[in-house]
Amino acid sequence: MNLHILVRDSGHLSSTLVATVLCAQSMILNAADTIAPAKIAPDKSVELSNPAYTAENSVKSQQKSVPSPAVRDVISDSKLSALMAASPKMKDFASAKTIPVGDKRPSPDESAFSKSIILFDGANFTLIPEGSILTLPADLRGNVVASPQGSFLLWPGFLKKNAKWLAPQEVTMEMARGDKDAAAEILQSLEGATKLRVAVYRSNPISVLETPNATPGASK
């Protein structure tokens, strides 16, 4: 109001002054819009709608909601030492393991050779289980010896080297356990065999526990 009176008294309207006044009014209005309004909570306290204020209080609330770690009992040094002293020592286990089971001792004759058949080809030998020979033609009986001679070869290598006179015969587990019915068909197929046939299960020599009705290897 004083501004308008001043303009009338001067007798002329200054465009520059009017522009300045309008600019000042616009700045005042913009500043009023940016001020966050206050909110009155139910408890009559004033809450400012300030993003920074809200985020800070949210972090504090989360920190307060974190549960405190549970309190656990801590063993004392003296109690720990007592428990360690009462526990069994390694020397006690060693002493128990070295006590003989009984007076029976293994026979010095019990070895791989005493429980095996030795096959010999003139230069090398191998071992197969007792009772694993299914056919033994008369002209090949010299290939079964009583004591090892030459260099030892594992079964796969010895078989490959002597495939001309030696052959494997895959058998079922039932036959290996002595089932004569399971052995009948295989034994019938071996009649008149000209090679020394060794019973194998999954390519490994295996004993046939019961002697079949037809004598194995009785080719004449």
The reported pLDDT for the residue numbered 86 is: 77
User: Is 123 in contact with 149 (CB distance < 8 Å)?
Assistant: no
pLDDT digits (tens, 9 = 90+) for 59-73: 555 555 666 666 666
Closest by CA to 34, choosing from 12, 13, 50, is 50
Amino acid letter, 160? K
Residue 77 has a pLDDT of: 81
**Predicted confidence band at 207 (pLDDT cuts at 50, 70, 90)?**
very high
Which amino acid is residue 152, in one-letter code?
A: F
95 vs 168: which has the higher pLDDT: 168
| Domain layout of the chain by residue ranges | 2-58, 116-205
Q: Dump the DSSP string for 120-187.
A: E-SSEEEEEETT-EEE--GGGGGGEESS--SEE--HHHHHHHTTTTEEEEE--HHHHTT-HHHHHHHH
pLDDT at position 144 is: 95
Question: Which 8-state DSSP code applies to residue 89?
Answer: P
**Whether pLDDT at 176 is above 80:** yes
**Which SS3 state, helix, strand or coil, does residue 92 take?**
helix
pLDDT band with cut points at 50, 70 and 90 for residue 113: confident
The pLDDT assigned to 7 comes to: 44
Say which residue, 79 or 31, is predicted with more confidence: 79
Q: How does strand 151-152 pair with strand 124-129?
A: parallel
